[in-house]
């Protein structure tokens, strides 16, 4: 990164926070507080506070909050993670990432309710049973496609499903991006994996999603150098 870039967040009371991204790190400039610089090597981790913001935490306990509502937030977060992937390339190790426990619990409850509905409907009528069975098909397809864990390995990204595993080689991945999805329950940070065959895979509701992005980007950087 040769040129600095500034991202802006404007709160409901019209106060603004400026974030300057440059070669050495981040300059945090809020209207309502004192500004300070945070070097890349001082960043300990980035935590996603789901539905609201991410927080950059430093080794000396300084925190830089970044709201999802920051202008160009996905690009902003990706820019930070790209810098960290270059700075921390020697820290790579194969890692496994699992679904958030709360989301996994919700999926388990949905499966249990589906099974109970099918069992109970049998005792009432075949018509009711087949109605529930038809309604369950989309859910079954969703559960089959939903990975329960991901592994960033030395050679590929591995998707662990209930009944199978699939792997994507790093040379099949074109790029990765952040995205914030909105629904009736709030906002969720996602990662979109863009494949060279023009397909897209959306990753969400996983623990340590930002660490996942950085680890995956480290391997993509290595693959670019090899190519």
CATH class of 5-87: mainly beta
CATH of region 93-98+147-226, choose from 3.10.20.90, 3.40.50.720, 3.90.740.10, 2.30.29.30: 2.30.29.30
Give how far the C-alpha of residue 77 lies from the chain's centroid of Cα atoms, to the nearest Å: 11
- pLDDT, averaged in runs of 10, over the chain (227 residues): 86 91 94 90 92 92 93 97 92 92 79 73 71 70 84 96 92 96 85 96 94 96 74
C-alpha–C-alpha distance, residues 168 and 147, integer Å:
13
User: Considering the entire predicted model, what is its pTM?
Assistant: 0.85
pLDDT number for residue 108: 78
pLDDT value, residue 227: 54
Joined together, the tokens standing for residue 123 give 């005792």
pLDDT value of residue 75: 97
Torsion angle (degrees, nearest 10) of CA 96, 100, 106, 110: -20
- Alpha-carbon distances of 133 from 76, 120, 173, rounded to whole Å: 45, 12, 37
The SS3 assignment for 69 reads coil
Strand partners, 76: none
């Amino acid at each position: 990164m040769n040129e600095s870039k500034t991202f802006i967040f404007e709160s409901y009371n019209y106060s603004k926070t400026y974030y300057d991204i440059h070669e050495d790190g981040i300059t945090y400039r809020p209207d309502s507080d004192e500004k300070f610089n945070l070097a890349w090597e001082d960043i300990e981790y980035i935590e996603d506070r789901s539905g609201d913001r991410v927080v950059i935490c430093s080794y000396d306990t300084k925190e830089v909050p970044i709201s999802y509502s920051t202008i160009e937030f996905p690009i902003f977060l990706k820019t930070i993670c790209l810098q960290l992937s270059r700075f921390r390339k020697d820290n790579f190790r194969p890692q496994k990432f699992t679904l958030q426990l709360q989301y996994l619990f919700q999926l388990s409850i949905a499966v249990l309710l589906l099974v109970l509905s099918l069992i109970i409907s049998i005792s009432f009528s075949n018509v009711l049973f087949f109605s529930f069975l038809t309604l369950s098909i989309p859910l079954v397809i969703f559960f089959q496609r939903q990975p329960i864990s991901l592994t960033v390995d030395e050679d590929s990204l591995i998707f662990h499903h209930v009944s199978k595993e699939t792997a994507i080689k790093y040379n099949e991945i074109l790029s990765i991006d952040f995205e914030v999805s909105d629904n009736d329950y709030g906002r969720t940070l996602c990662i979109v994996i863009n494949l060279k065959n023009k397909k897209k895979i959306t990753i969400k509701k996983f623990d340590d999603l930002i660490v996942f992005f950085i680890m995956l980007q480290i391997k993509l950087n290595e693959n670019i150098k090899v190519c």
